[in-house]
Amino acid sequence: MISNSDTPVIRIDHLDQLWFQVAGTRCNLECNHCFISCSPKNKSFGFLTLEFVEGHLQQAGELGVKEFYFTGGEPFLNPEMVDILITTLALGPATVLTNATVLQDDWLTRLSIAASASRYSLEFRVSIDGFDAETNDPIRGVGTFDRAIRGVQKLVKHGFLPIITAVQTWSDEDNLNVIQQFTKTLKSIGYDRPRIKILPTLQMGAEENRTHGYTQADRLTNDMMVGFDHSQLICHNSRIVTDRGVHVCPILIETPDSLLSDNIADSLVPFEMSHGACVTCYRYGAICSNPSNQFKETHIQKSNETV
Amino acid sequence: MPPRYQRIACLGGLYSNYLALESALSDIRARGVDQIFCLGDMGAFGPFPDRVFPLLHEHNVVCIQGNYDDSIGNALDDCQCGYTDPRDNYFAQISYDYTLENTSTENREFLNELPQQIQIQIGDLNVLLCHGSPRRVNEFLWQSTTSDAFLQRLFDENQCDAIIGTHTGIKWHRQISNQHFVNAGVLGRPENDGNTNVWYTIIESHESNLNVQFIPVAYDFRRLSREMKSEKLPDEFCETIETGWWTTCLEVLPQKERVAGIH
Ligand code: SF4
Ligand code: SF4
Ligand SMILES: [Fe+2]
């Protein structure tokens, strides 16, 4: 890796979130904006086993972790996914990011029982990228809108209130309108108090082909970090586990320098934010966290950072 | 040495609900405590923000600064509550602008000078009083998204046996061996359970441990709602006061807390 003295370095403050790339890069879909080029055939990262996850849950517990996130690919392609979530719920809150197209009723029955018995929340985050098939399917694939909607209906039937996440492929002016349309659509299919979160696009992976990649000018500098609240960045309070080891953040797993260690404790080291995606994080803040755990920058922290 | 008490009362966010504060204070006087603490967020939501201050002074309540108090004290642009939803922010801004406009300079100075944390002892135990979390004034520590491991870390880092906070608006208590985390609830608005009462907390030393008791407070909520309407505060806020169900700020609730409500 080229080291550049003007590249800002981030030091992790505390391991608040531990992520698991639980399905590796395997996905039943092949969205054209996927930032890690997941597909049915991409096996560059593999599934994590229950046993492997359990070991890392323990390690993270010793470090005072606050909550756990599961992503892929599509987590529910992992045959042990339901057991992994049930095991996790004994130790802390769990969030799973799914495309909701492969969910089965018997899995959701088990998860709903486990979630009620746990003191912790089980959150489903469902990616849908348009409020109808016409807007969603060109991005996520033919028929995916209807299949995801059926998944949402199943979740609602089992007592979950999934957070619908949509990557913003429209202009800012259209934002409110899109949210309203989304709300209307979701209510019409029986989800009467929908939760919606809009995400920025990351110009990498498949998205690089859909629009454009990051350029050399899209880089953070030390000047940009003056007075900036570091806690807005995922790498300030999170790590992600893949079958290769522990990486700095869920966004960069495919870049070689993101791999920090084979265990969590040793992965809590400084990291050079030298990537284009870092600029997106900088602009949009804690894009991967649930709203219930998002910090807003405060006046008090701001003044601490600048003195 | 931090001051030592046997039995204290903790009031969470007041949100200008001076009627609930009056009820709570007379209830506390009847029960008897060594000291009353308020964990911050004096303003927001309710009417006539200046009315809570004389009550706090009269009852010698020791106060901590919440995110709202920092905002009002410094006349910042918003309340720093950390909402992410545009609708939540819309309503939050209406009540913030109202509160800022209607808080006297003297009271704003009082808010500005409040400490962000206070260390005390209850019996032999070290107790840290804060607003959101010990590390961040506006951190949401919900019951269903805060792991034991994280609480343990907070106890270790702050070398204390108990941490008491507020900020989320919903009370909870967890004991891990002999250590405690307590969210004292809020007096400002009901806690999204369909009841109009609000809550405060009494904490006392008991056989080298702590006894934590949540106390419901009934008050004239119809009058509060009437006054909010006359001050042109959002109807959505009045509905919460009258029904006990939250109508705004819902996006920050985790799954479990959200499912418990109806909106
Ligand atoms: S965006 Fe999600 S659903 Fe689409 S291909 Fe990538 S991992 Fe699969
Ligand atoms: S992509 Fe974002 S989270 Fe990852 S290292 Fe860069 S700034 Fe941090
Ligand atoms: Fe607060």
> Any chain A CB within 8 A of the CB of B122?
no
Kindly report the CATH number assigned to the domain that includes residue A123.
Answer: 3.20.20.70
State percent of chain A over pLDDT 70: 89
Q: Over 50: is that where the pLDDT of B85 sits?
A: yes
Nearest CA in chain B to A62: B149
Q: Over 90: is that where the pLDDT of A3 sits?
A: no
Model confidence, pTM: 0.93
| Residue A85 C-alpha, separation from nearest chain B C-alpha, in angstroms | 15
C-alpha distances (whole Å) from A204 to each of A33, A37, A198, A280 are 8, 9, 18, 11
CA atoms within 13 A on the CB side of A53: 30
Residue the block writes with tokens 């309070």: A237
What's the gap between Cα B4 and its chain centre?
22
The backbone torsions φ and ψ at residue B232, rounded to the nearest 5 degrees and listed phi first, read 60, 35
Residue the block writes with tokens 């419901």: B216
**What pLDDT sits at residue A32?**
83
**What pLDDT sits at residue A160?**
98
> Any chain A CB within 8 A of the CB of B215?
no
- Mean pLDDT to the nearest integer, B78-102: 87
Residues B38, B40, B41, B43: what is their CA dihedral angle, to the nearest 10 degrees?
Answer: 50
Burial B78-99 (b: 16+ CB within 10 A, else e): bbbbbbbbeebbebbeebbebb
> For residues A163 and A195, is the Cβ–Cβ distance under 8 A?
yes
Q: Over 70: is that where the pLDDT of B68 sits?
A: yes
For residue A1, is it within any domain?
Answer: no
- Condensed to tens digits (0 to 9), the pLDDT of residues A224-265 reads 999 888 888 999 999 999 999 999 999 999 999 999 999 999
- Mean pLDDT to the nearest integer, B32-37: 98
Kindly report the CATH number assigned to the domain that includes residue B121.
Answer: 3.60.21.10
Gap between the Cα atoms of A55 and B44, Å rounded = 45
Total number of residues shown for chain B: 263
- Mean pLDDT to the nearest integer, B172-199: 97
The secondary structure of B164-212 as a DSSP string is: EE-SSS--EEEEETTEEEEE---SSS--SSS---EEEEEEEEETTEEEE
- Closest CA relative to residue A94, chosen from A63, A57, A50, A149: A57
Q: Average pLDDT of chain A?
A: 89
Q: Over 50: is that where the pLDDT of A25 sits?
A: yes
> Any chain A CB within 8 A of the CB of B87?
no
- Closest CA relative to residue B240, chosen from B197, B206, B176, B185: B197
- Condensed to tens digits (0 to 9), the pLDDT of residues A163-203 reads 999 888 788 888 888 888 889 999 999 999 999 988 877 66
Structure tokens at A98: 């799914």
Task: Identify which of B80, B143, B250 has the shortest CB distance to residue A119.
Answer: B143
Report strand pairing: B62-63 vs B179-183: unpaired
Q: Which residues of B touch A61 (CB under 8 A)?
A: 147, 149
The backbone torsions φ and ψ at residue B36, rounded to the nearest 5 degrees and listed phi first, read -110, 135
For ligand 1, whether the C-beta of A122 sits within 6 Å is: no
Structure tokens at A198: 């809009």
Q: Count up the domains in chain B and report the number.
A: 1
- Condensed to tens digits (0 to 9), the pLDDT of residues B14-31 reads 999 999 999 999 999 999
For residue A306, is it within any domain?
Answer: no
> Any chain A CB within 8 A of the CB of B90?
no
H-helix or E-strand spanning residue B257: helix B255-260
H-helix or E-strand spanning residue B10: strand B7-11
Q: Which residues of A touch B71 (CB under 8 A)?
A: 299
Q: Over 60: is that where the pLDDT of A303 sits?
A: no
**What pLDDT sits at residue B88?**
82
Task: Identify which of A66, A115, A298 has the shortest CB distance to residue B80.
Answer: A298
Non-local (6+) Cβ contacts of A205 within 8 A are A34, A35, A36, A37, A254
Find the domain containing B249 and state its range.
4-260
Q: Distance from first CA to last CA of chain A, Å, rounded? A: 32
- Closest CA relative to residue A182, chosen from A138, A142, A148: A148
- Mean pLDDT to the nearest integer, A100-106: 97
Q: Count up the domains in chain A and report the number.
A: 1
**What pLDDT sits at residue B87?**
80
**What pLDDT sits at residue A305?**
36
- Condensed to tens digits (0 to 9), the pLDDT of residues A130-151 reads 888 998 999 899 999 999 999 9
State percent of chain A over pLDDT 90: 67
Find the domain containing A68 and state its range.
9-301
Nearest listed ligand to the Cα of residue A8: 2
- Mean pLDDT to the nearest integer, A213-228: 86
Q: Which residues of A touch B250 (CB under 8 A)?
A: 193
The β-bridge partners of A212 are none
> For residues A152 and A162, is the Cβ–Cβ distance under 8 A?
yes
Task: Identify which of B74, B150, B255 has the shortest CB distance to residue A161.
Answer: B255
| B195 CA to centre of ligand 3 in angstroms | 22
> For residues A301 and A276, is the Cβ–Cβ distance under 8 A?
no
C-alpha distances (whole Å) from B147 to each of A42, A60, A61, B44, B230 are 34, 11, 9, 29, 43
For residue A4, is it within any domain?
Answer: no
Task: List, edge to edge, every strand of the sheet that includes B62-63.
Answer: B62-63, B35-38, B7-11, B198-206, B209-217
For residue A60, is it within any domain?
Answer: yes
Q: Over 80: is that where the pLDDT of A6 sits?
A: yes
**What pLDDT sits at residue A297?**
60
pLDDT band at A301 (very low <50, low <70, confident <90, very high): very low
**What pLDDT sits at residue A180?**
87
**What pLDDT sits at residue A1?**
46
